[in-house]
Amino acid sequence: MQLTIRNLSKTYPNGVKALQDVSLDIPTGMYGLLGPNGAGKSTLMRILATLQDADSGTATLDDINVLKDKDAVRRLLGYLPQEFGVYPRISALEMLRHLAVLKGIPGAQQKEVVNALLERVNLWDHRKKAVSSYSGGMRQRFGIAQALLGDPKLIIVDEPTAGLDPGERNRFYNLLSEIGENVIVILSTHIVEDVKELCSNMAIINSGQVLYAGTPDAALTALQGQVWEKAIAKAEIEDYQNRYQVISSKLVAGKPIIHVLSETNPGDGFQAADADLEDVFFAKILAGQLTV
């Protein structure tokens, strides 16, 4: 399986260029699509999920034309949208059985398939409760169960960990990491940790443009030796932002520690820092803004 996206563009009627000439090669395994809010991630996910049309460009899944042959894509697709509506009072079990019918899973297999999925996402004990009463984490696990119905080969999950607490997020990571190596899983997120924990390949997008595509490791290696850190006073932040390319600032015990990008040692009390994926993300976004 291979998803090949070439020169995909989409401009909304209000003039927002949500995607500009996006080209990506997405192999099997977990693929992270990382970008801040408004980057164009959901637009790309909805186009790949056949829910929205692109203006131009192509997308092919092996030999399927994703933009034209929508029925063929839908047969292979599992989609967890950013927000999904659930009916009040309908239990997870009823809902999954209903969706299994819609997915065309043969009657004799429905019960077994649904039960296995409920076990797999660890909701068996809660199967008779209304999905609308679930916690955020349970709801997202239910979302994965419905996305996995019918053995999809292309799975798209859009911002799945937003709003989950750390424990729920970890359970969700474990679930995603078990999906398997032989399918394509695209994880769209603005949370760097999601990609760090799960993805063997990634892209960073902002303003509808691809700023990086490759492995997280290659991005980290490229940045090694260029990230410097220093603890400063809160009042100094603006001054440092004016003088350096500040890519992040974190509070540690109430004191800001800034990371700056520089090919040479800036001196001034800065120390070499190990680049992390967070640095990659902000460095790429900063570089993207400087070239616009």
Instruction: Please identify, using beta-carbon distances, which residue of 38 and 225 lies nearer to ligand ADP.
Output: 38
Among 5, 26, 41, 195, binds ligand ADP (CB under 6 A): 41
Minimum distance from residue 186 beta carbon to ligand ADP (Å): 12
- Binding segment for ligand ADP among 35-43, 86-94, 107-115, 128-136 (CB under 6 A)? 35-43
| Cα–Cα distance, 124 to 101 (Å, whole number) | 20
| Cα–Cα distance, 174 to 170 (Å, whole number) | 6
Instruction: Please identify, using beta-carbon distances, which residue of 51 and 231 lies nearer to ligand ADP.
Output: 51
Residue 77 three-state SS: strand
- Amino acid identity of 250? K
Kindly determine how many residues on this chain lie close enough to bind ligand ADP according to the rule CB under 6 A.
12
Residue 84 three-state SS: coil
Report the 10 Å Cβ neighbour count for 64: 18
Q: How many residues does the chain have?
A: 292
Among 20, 23, 38, 122, binds ligand ADP (CB under 6 A): 38
Contact indicator for 259, 228 with CB cutoff of 8 Å: yes
Among 8, 18, 67, 285, binds ligand ADP (CB under 6 A): 18
* 37 sits near ligand ADP (criterion: CB under 6 A): yes
Going by C-alpha positions, the residue among 236, 243, 238 that lies closest to residue 261 is 243
Among 24, 32, 42, 183, binds ligand ADP (CB under 6 A): 42
**Positions in the binding site for ligand ADP (CB under 6 A):** 12, 14, 16, 18, 35, 37-43
